[in-house]
Each structure stands twice: as structure tokens, then as C-alpha cells.
Structure 1
């Protein structure tokens, strides 16, 4: 994952609600899964193991997002645990064990999560963060993002 992608995911996380965080985690998993496949094809074992490890962490966070009390949540958790098991197996064997299939499964689940996100009208999970507006100004070859409307007196710890 490039530094630019990390910044984009960080920005998205700061602006999203609960259902949006699930979408961000799916995208993070997708990125690390594809990076692991590319590293394996390039015969870079170190990058492969790092990307598999990061994909496992993203999958673990995704599993934690769902309720174990809800029957539908348990079904989603079962699918995600299956994918997590494939990731562990890929890491131990040091070769992608149906990793492309796992990425495709998360992409298929993401389609349903997008629909749920459209129905969710909650506010952002993180409070007192900068509001980012993209596309207001353009630099030479880059898109500048403007941060506005921040009350710095209410940021950070208050005693």
C-alpha cells in the first residue's frame, strides 16, 4: 500500500460513520490482498508476508464490527472467519491459497454493505476532526484539499 493510499484511508476513516468504516475496512483488505498477490508473483517473500499480515489485521477488525448476538451478523462473521482461515493458511504455506477468491468474496460482501451504508444516516464516528473538502482548488498536477470550520479550542483533551 502506498503512502498516498494510507492517507486516503485515514481521511476516509475520520469522516465515516459505522457502516462507512466497514466499507473502508473492505477496501483496505482489498488493497492488501491484491498487494500480497502481486508480491508473490514478483517473488518478494518479505512483502508477501507483510501484506498478508496486514490483510489479516484488516479482516480481524472487520470481524469485530459485527454483532455475535444477531443471526445475520453471525452468518457474516462465519464467512469472514473462513476468509481469515485462508489468510492464515496462505501465511503459513507462504503461497496464496485461494487469496484471489477471498478478495473476490469480500468485494461481493461489500456490494451489500454499500446498500446498507446508503440507508445509514448516522453522523461520523469520530468527533472534533477536520472537515475535508476536496476539489475546491487545484495545484499543478495535484488536488489540494481544504480544511475549514474547525474550532481548535474544542480539540484534544479537556481538563
Structure 2
């Protein structure tokens, strides 16, 4: 993931509930697969492999966070393992065609979690994070975000 993409998602991640965080991770996996395909088309095999390995890290995180008290977790695990296997095949064969089913599966999972994310009333996962306010100031051609934490008196310069 490049710095621009990381900055784009930082504000969303800080404010996300658990379900929204899963949706964001699915989006990141899809972006990494798309980026890998672009790298392959440009002839950059190292970039292709790097993007897919980044996608694998996101899938690994999803597998680690499953709660196996529920039967659905085993179904999700099977899908994650299948997607991971396809990514491994794509890396070994240096062939992006191996990723077609994986992208489709992650897109369908993302669609399902997007449908239920509004029902998650648990609040942001990151409880100690700063509030992010967008729209207070505008930069040249973009919207600036401002972090405000009234409890943090140790910030800035002291006279």
C-alpha cells in the first residue's frame, strides 16, 4: 500500500466500528489485488508480488480475528483460505488470472458486511483516538482534516 492510500484510509479506520473495519479491510484487499494487476500489466513483477503479499497480510489479519464460537467463522475461514491459496498461486505462477475468483469473493463479502454495518452500534474500535473533523479548513484543491483532542494539554508549544 502506498502512502497516499494509507492516508486516505487513516481517518476512516480511526472512526470505524468493528463491522466498518472489516469492510475497510475488504476494500484494501480489493485495492491491493487491483494494484497487483496494474503492476503486472506494467511489467513490474516485484510490485505485483509486493501488492499481493500486502493483500495476504490483510487476509491473515481477518483469519486471526475470527471468533470460532460461531459456525459462520469456519465458513469465513474456508473462504479466506481459498483466497489466500489463489494469491499464493498467482505469486508462484506470476499470473494475475489466478485472482479472478478471489476478487469476486472478497467483493461479495464486502457487500454483505456493508449491508449490516449500520446495525453495529458498538462505536469506534479505537476508543482513545483523536477526533477527526473534516471541512474546518480547505487546502488548494482538497479538504483538510483537523485532529482535535481537548483532553490533551501537552500538545504544541508552551510559552
> Mind listing any 5+ residue stretches in structure 1 that lack a counterpart?
none
Q: Deviations over 1:33-65 (max 9, x none)?
A: 100011111111110010011011111112223
- Moved runs in structure 1, 4+ residues, more than 3 A? none
1:82 aligns with 2:78: no
Cα distance in 2 between the residues matched to 1:77 and 1:97? 23
Contact 1:26 1:62 in 2 (8 A): no
> Mind listing any 5+ residue stretches in structure 2 that lack a counterpart?
none
- Root-mean-square deviation (Å): 1.9
- Cα deviation for residue 82 of structure 1 reads 0.5
1:115 aligns with 2:118: no
Cα distance in 2 between the residues matched to 1:52 and 1:10? 21
- Cα deviation for residue 153 of structure 1 reads 5.4
- Cα deviation for residue 81 of structure 1 reads 1.0
Cα distance in 1 between the residues matched to 2:128 and 2:22? 21
Corresponding residue of 1:23: 23
Contact 1:39 1:47 in 2 (8 A): yes
Question: TM-score when scaled to structure 1?
Answer: 0.88
- Cα deviation for residue 127 of structure 1 reads 2.0
Corresponding residue of 2:126: 126
Cα distance in 2 between the residues matched to 1:13 and 1:53? 21
Between stretches 97-106 and 110-119, larger displacement belongs to: 97-106
